[in-house]
Structure 1
Amino acid sequence: MRLIIRYFFRTLRLVLTPFMLLSEKLSTPKGAARSVEDQAEVDRACQKLALYQFSACPFCIKVRKEIARLGLNIETRDAQHDSKHRAALEAGGGRIKVPCLLITHEESEPEWLYESDAINTWLQNRFPVHA
């Protein structure tokens, strides 16, 4: 019975994945408008960030949409299909759970931030968009 349930959900995931990715593509907002200097400063700050994610994870999609809305150039790392990134996530963050934002600090240990709402809040506070 457990095997049947597992294959049911795998099949469901395979069927829904293209629709989720298409929906993300169609509904991703435009990036925030900044001056060239401000965007260059934001891009420099984003070099210290990396998002560990799975492509079809709804919570990862939520974070990627917020990254797009804020106009951020954050590296995304596929922890589902790339064994190197998966191992780094487990070794650094302590568990394989996505989304996870790696925040590299200058003078302290890296910070591994889990949970889509926590990541989005951190990004909104760190990179506010002024209307």
Structure 2
Amino acid sequence: MKPFIRTFFKTLRIVLGPLMLLKERLTRPTGIVRAQSAQHSTDLQCRNLALYQYQTCPFCIKVRQEISRLSLTIQRIDAQHEGRDRQALLQGGGQTKVSCLKITDDGGNSQWLYDSEKIVAYLRGRFANA
């Protein structure tokens, strides 16, 4: 029974994944417009942020939509497959759950913020009025 269930969900992801990505592209919000100096300052702040994500994860899509709406240039790291990036997520944050925002301060210390709702709230609080 387990192999059947795994196959079912794998097939579902294969079929729905491209549709989810198409919907994301078609419904991408228009980014806010800032003065050039303000956008440059925002871009510099974003250099200390990295979003660990899966391409077709609905929660990650939600965070990416907010990143687009806020006109942020945050590095996106695909942690879906086994490898260096997934291992970094596990070692740094303690789990391989996505979406996860890695926030690095000027001293090089990192904070790992899980949960799309918390990430969106953090981004809005930090950048919506910038």
With the shorter chain as reference, the TM-score category is over 0.9
TM-score relative to the length of structure 1: 0.95
For 1:109 and 1:82, how far apart are their aligned partners in 2?
A: 25
Q: What is the match of residue 51 of structure 1?
A: 51
For 2:22 and 2:114, how far apart are their aligned partners in 1?
A: 25
The answer on whether the counterparts of 1:51 and 1:77 sit within 8 Å (CA) in structure 2 is: yes
Q: What is the match of residue 101 of structure 2?
A: 101
The amino acid across from 2:58 in the alignment is P
- Partner of 2:121: helix, strand, or coil? helix
| Structure 2 unaligned residues grouped into runs of 5+ | none
Give the alignment of 1:1-131 within 5 angstroms: 1-81=1-81, 83-107=83-107, 109-129=109-129
Q: Give the C-alpha shift of residue 128 in structure 1.
A: 1.5
For 2:129 and 2:9, how far apart are their aligned partners in 1?
A: 39
Q: Give the C-alpha shift of residue 129 in structure 1.
A: 3.9
Q: Give the C-alpha shift of residue 81 in structure 1.
A: 3.2
For 1:108 and 1:66, how far apart are their aligned partners in 2?
A: 25
- Partner of 2:52: helix, strand, or coil? strand
The amino acid across from 1:109 in the alignment is N
TM-score relative to the length of structure 2: 0.96
Name segments (4+ residues, structure 1) moved above 2 Å: none
For 2:47 and 2:77, how far apart are their aligned partners in 1?
A: 13
The answer on whether the counterparts of 1:47 and 1:74 sit within 8 Å (CA) in structure 2 is: yes
Q: Give the C-alpha shift of residue 65 in structure 1.
A: 0.1
- Partner of 1:101: helix, strand, or coil? strand
| Structure 1 unaligned residues grouped into runs of 5+ | none
Paired residues, number: 130
For 1:103 and 1:79, how far apart are their aligned partners in 2?
A: 16
